[in-house]
Structure 1
């Protein structure tokens, strides 16, 4: 059966986490770029979901509730996107609140490290970019360091300061993989491995991630996403088929100035893959 959706974009971020646009502005941008099925997937947060759904309806777009949960796996931070769930599910809301806990303390430790390297006021500077203080993150620090003239752009900030082994990097213990998948599935949604090519996992660790994810009830993986190359589209299309996972597609859009791909501007999915939006047809919110 041919999918009714020609340009889904199921991964994006608003000011509710670390994006720079409101849910309403994102919905308008998505529609202007031809998106016909959209999801807002703020980090560890569902506070923007009702606004996003209403904005999508106002734009005449179909909508799926979403979030992106931070998970610790094999010493790496891995992201699991949830789609099509009930955003008011108590267990999911509590799980996300627990995952967000500790971000402020981590941010203060990051600022202390940066101050030791001559960069003062980083915590207060990062806060100026935060729409939700519970979700202060490395991205907010990166924007401050660019504004302060320490680096030319956010990629340079991450290379020099905010990755493992660099001043300003402080690890955080996130949710367990099984917990994140169970929160999503328990709330009626589908769990998706986000942008798998980004993780510094060995081949064996990546195989373990996919295997454990599937065993916990995960059903999909992002194949076409803003941080994948065309070769990686093909690689993760094969992985999706090997593990019996549906394919998802999303730009991971954060900001007009920072994101590799704009909303709705990704290439098509490789042929022959099951699509996550087909699994979730009953959960898609359609415009009136």
Structure 2
């Protein structure tokens, strides 16, 4: 079976609606999926209804923003009871933080001549907008030729639109996921730019806080990355997860279901969901 447990819809920074996303996953041969929008559960009901209609096994999911020390880290929550009070309050807190960030970004874009940026970004999004929506506004208003240039010049790391929020520490996020009966997964660990020593320290703290799994496969990866992550996961007794981290069509390195085989010898997180 083809398992994809990390993807995004228009409810965060993806280009497809939850329904269209599930339809594309079906076309790509995905048989088990989780919608993991950033800090929101808004697309879950629509995605699950479409997955049920297409006989795809659906897993409740979310990708929480958090931090480890001063480093931003993403934690995926899987197979949660999304009606839980603690989880809902955590999502509400994250939404308030995202709105604060977006309003600051809009103020900065206003100085560039991009008027009503927050309202216009909200009109492009199904839920609270993300930086890709602001990037689209920069293109529409002629400040850049494409969204890639928008990130490079205005919204990317270290640029004027890169607003650093004080997201919760990883232990707080893990606790919220576990309180809802879910599994906390360290997302795309190879993408944080850490040395192997620092990565092991992050994984050690994540596991000590109650984290249970780590993404071994995240889209297309350089040869050897998956095995290295497998070795670290096994060292700390973590299960393996995988996902495309799909955001939009036209990015073959993050296509739904286009996932390399999992290295041998590690237990998949979805073993009890079959």
**What TM-score do you get using the length of structure 2 for normalisation?**
0.91
Distance 2:112 2:50 in 1: 44
Query: Matched residue pairs, number?
Result: 274
Partner of residue 94, structure 2: 99
SS in 1 for 2:167: coil
Distance 1:14 1:195 in 2: 18
The reply to whether residue 144 of structure 1 matches residue 124 of structure 2 is no
| CA RMSD, Structure 1 to Structure 2 (Å) | 2.0
Distance 1:32 1:59 in 2: 10
Distance 1:127 1:148 in 2: 16
Distance 1:214 1:92 in 2: 20
Distance 2:268 2:212 in 1: 10
Q: Deviating runs (4+, > 6 A) in structure 1?
A: none
146-155 or 212-221: bigger deviation: 146-155
Change (3 A) 1:213 1:105: same
SS in 1 for 2:201: helix
**Correspondence 1:221-232 to 2 at 5 A:** 221-226=214-219, 228-232=221-225
Partner of residue 112, structure 1: 107
Partner of residue 80, structure 1: 75
Please point out which of 235, 249, 252 is paired with 2:245: 252
235-244 or 122-131: bigger deviation: 122-131
Q: Which runs of 5+ in 2 are unaligned?
A: none
Partner of residue 41, structure 2: 46
Superposed displacement of residue 175, structure 1: 2.1
Distance 1:79 1:256 in 2: 23
Contact kept, 8 Å, 2:213 with 2:240, in 1: the verdict is yes
Change (3 A) 1:240 1:190: same
Superposed displacement of residue 111, structure 1: 2.4
Contact kept, 8 Å, 1:253 with 1:259, in 2: the verdict is no
**What TM-score do you get using the length of structure 1 for normalisation?**
0.87
Offset from partner CA, 1:76-129 (integer Å, 9 cap, x none) = 221100111111111111111112213223212212223434555533442332
